[in-house]
A = this chain, B = another copy of it.
Amino acid sequence: MQKQGILIVFSGPSGVGKGSICRALIKEDPSILLSVSATTRSPRNGEVHGVDYYFLDTKSFQKMIEEDELLEWAEVYGHYYGTPYRFLQEALDRGNDVILEIDIQGALQVKERFPMAVLIFVVPPSRLALESRLRARGTDSNEEIEKRLRCIECEIKMACHYDYIVINDELPRALATVRAIITAEKARSQRCQFLLRDLLS
């Protein structure tokens, strides 16, 4: 039996730098795949269909819901977001680790269907640091930034449902912690039963 890949789910406040962590992980290990989500929100500058997201109209998205093709989906800030199921399951079966970058509601839905999924919540070193990053990113309106900041408290309260908390103060340090988490999870005894069977046979 081939060893299954690990499903690694990243969440955290908007602007915390989840995207940078995920991109760096994939860059240094091409066997790690990024699951591409579907969404009904408009592409931001430079975002590419099929790479950053599958940009769908509302009707197409609702059809995927009806036909049970989404592992999880949610409406966030008035837009739909969801994870197509098939790509993910096939990649895990091939032994690839798969990264999902999704919101809290979605992450908790994923954990129900994949109890061995590893949930990582990325937090900023401080609330102020997060606000600066959101403004520096320059992709959201003032109104949108205010809305995101108001949500942070609720989001952080949900972090206790995650397996790990990673502070993104400096990217190299956060990345080292995430790498350690992946290495450690590969040594989890639930994932290593085949090893023990080999030793006993």
Contacts and interface: CB of A to CB of B under 8 A. Distances in A.
A124 B199 CA distance: 8
A188 B160 contact: no
Interface string A164-201: 11110000000011011101110111001101100110
A63 interface: no
B153 A200 contact: yes
The listed residue with most B CB atoms (<10 A of its CB), out of A153, A183, A193, is A183
A121 to B, nearest CB: 7
Interface in A100-149: 121, 123-124, 126-127
Q: Can you tell how many copies of this chain the complex includes?
A: 2
Contacts of A121: 189
Q: How large is the interface on A (under 10, 10 to 19, 20 to 34, 35 or more residues)?
A: 20 to 34
Contacts of A183: 176-177, 180-181, 184
A59 interface: no
Nearest to A184: B184
Contact of A164 (B126, B181, B187): B187
A162 interface: yes
A130 to B, nearest CB: 9
A189 to B, nearest CB: 5
Nearest to A186: B177
A159 interface: yes
27 contacts: A123-B195, A123-B196, A123-B199, A126-B199, A153-B200, A156-B196, A156-B199, A156-B200, A157-B200, A159-B189, A160-B193, A161-B189, A162-B189, A163-B188, A164-B184, A164-B188, A164-B189, A165-B188, A167-B195, A179-B180, A180-B180, A180-B181, A180-B184, A180-B187, A181-B183, A184-B184, A184-B185
